[in-house]
Chain A
């Protein structure tokens, strides 16, 4: 009985791993196709990466523009959302009573709202109410910050809970002011959650399609996901696969740097959980 289940489950999990990864690996492989086709293999070349003087990722002006837009959007969102999110999480953690409930509600509703609702609502707002904010980069930035605040709050709050209030109280007993306790005791301990937020927000924003698309103003503010979306069904060349591969590489670079930083931090602070604990930091944050 039990033995049978042991054989079925591994088959399912390895089947799942293959099913979830092989199509993507094939798509990456086809970015090295020598021909114009994204489906029929005609030999290996770097034509669509760097070779072609017009249509390769390296030389196609609109693709380069999309990459640039994506990176700028992700960077600026991170820079704005991290301080706002941390301060909101720390503040909300200590609030009591009715205001605590209100803030709690305000930060958790975005987590469960589908992006299309946020995107549509912001589009209607920017075109009819806050008309001073033009569609394109400014609107996309505001939209992505709004959608990311809650993620930061969740990550930082989890860390605050695991730290507990003991350290701050000890600092206060030893004569620190409330601000000093916050600045010199709590802040340094929040580092892992800052790092995790950074990785999660950067990856979410650079991958974001719905909000960025609703708030875009056309080709000028096209990001990589928008570019993929608009050209998948046309006769796009394998350069599109190369562009998508580049996007995936970017998120993984950020993820791996973040994991590395996290496990380094943990090691330095005497926690030997290493990579696995760091992985837990990032994934718990997602869930």
Chain B
């Protein structure tokens, strides 16, 4: 068949142009602000549109602060919180997804629906719910008070922030995890059992390796937004003791006179995520190769 392919680029053009103009260019603009100069009179950031004239002074300053200055704590805290929240999310989300995929039986549709519901409840509503419960007069605090535990959960508590992140993002882990487990070839697990593996061995040596790519995808899926999260932290703590990278970006870009610093931090966050992402892409392409063998 003869190809007259003009129609396809024409169809793709509006969307591609839109993304280029409002996604590609803004990324460049961030770099131009980050590597630009500061107006000596108004102290405002002046973007430098010519990459040959970029000034890396501010970026170097921020990097120094990350490596051995006040920002070091923020960076480390961000990584620790996200990792802790991710591990907890797996501890909760994996069994839930596993049960849904394997043993839900007659209740499957009901359970699936119940698990999907939080996905569609507004994130801020879910945080509002916890702020109400955790406030000093809230139900949870009063309940804990019965056992003699009096603790202000909303005053810069790292536990609250990490659990808040878990509560917020675990639905986004369960669904892709469920999709992965649902599609697994469970006959292989049965075969392993028939060949004498204990259920634990079959799980460790057959199920987990088969689900690995899906697990990596789910981990990435929740880690990326967690790294940029600032509102969970703001609502549940708003204390410098639990401040994360997202809070710094929000502060510098939105509320301060130093958007340049904010722009540098945005670039750093992107670089951090790029590392996580390339790890993910490498592991999935390896998986795809093994699969086609």
Contacts and interface: CB of A to CB of B under 8 A. Distances in A.
A54 to B, nearest CB: 21
Interface residues of B, number: 96
A106 B20 contact: yes
Contacts of B116: 279, 283
Given A120-B266, A124-B259, A179-B7, A106 B228 contact: no
B125 to A, nearest CB: 4
Contact of B19 (A19, A146, A245): A146
Q: Main SS of chain A's interface residues?
A: helix
A103 interface: yes
B59 to A, nearest CB: 15
Q: Main SS of chain B's interface residues?
A: helix
Contacts of A1: 198-200
B122 A125 contact: no
A251 interface: yes
B47 interface: yes
B12 to A, nearest CB: 3
A43 interface: no
B15 A88 contact: yes
A140 interface: no
A26 B139 contact: yes
Interface string B1-21: 100110111111111101110
Nearest to A120: B253
B79 to A, nearest CB: 15
Contact of A37 (B8, B15, B137): B137
B132 A87 contact: no
B269 A114 contact: yes
Contacts of B176: 287
25 contacts: A10-B103, A16-B96, A26-B129, A39-B133, A87-B12, A87-B15, A88-B11, A91-B12, A94-B5, A103-B16, A107-B19, A113-B273, A114-B225, A116-B229, A121-B27, A124-B29, A128-B29, A210-B231, A228-B128, A229-B235, A232-B127, A244-B122, A247-B122, A251-B122, A283-B119
Interface of A: 1-2, 5-6, 8-10, 12-13, 16-17, 19-21, 23-24, 26-27, 30, 37-40, 84-85, 87-88, 90-92, 94-95, 99, 102-103, 106-107, 109-110, 112-118, 120-125, 128-129, 142-143, 145-146, 149, 153, 172, 178-179, 182, 203, 207, 209-210, 214, 225, 228-229, 232-233, 240-241, 244-245, 247-248, 251-252, 255, 275-276, 279, 283-284, 286-287
